[in-house]
Amino acid sequence: MVIKETLRMYCPAPATTRQALYDTTLGGYFIPKDTAIMISVLGAHFNPSVYDDPTLFVPERWLSENSAKINPYSWVPFLRGERSCTGQKFAMLEMKVIIAMLYKKLVFRPDSWSSVGMGSNLVIFPLHGIHVMPKLRELPTEGSC
């Protein structure tokens, strides 16, 4: 849930382009065949008609009973269809494993003196890095729960 919400709010690719395969009308606008169309992924991810309080970080959106109500085309950090990212399943698995391994041994606290500025070209990135203060997790002693 945390990974999906993070990808919703900080999607690596904020936009993509597609080409109209045939004449169509979209949102009341005529789009001729072969027109290049820019799709705002962040626009979909922050759409208030899909997500309540879209600017808030709410991992519980992705509980099965909540996410069942979300159109699959409203969450597209890896895009959809035949041009979707072929590495999506690997990327999701890799993120889960790395986070679990780090969380097992470390506690992360944000560095209260820094803020995260975001930049974008083809992908979104933190302008000056993300500053955290890791601390070794205290492991339970023998005989404790």
User: From CA 123, how far away is CA 126, in angstroms rounded?
Assistant: 10
Identify the pLDDT of residue 59: 96
Domains and CATH numbers, the chain: 2-136 (1.10.630.10)
pLDDT in the model for residue 37: 92
* Torsions phi, psi for 111 (to 5 deg): -75, 110
pLDDT of the chain, 145 residues: tens digit per residue: 999 999 999 888 888 889 999 999 988 999 999 999 998 999 999 999 999 999 999 999 999 999 999 998 899 999 888 888 889 999 999 999 999 999 999 998 877 766 778 888 778 888 888 888 889 988 777 766 6
Distance of CA 23 to the CA centre of its chain: 32
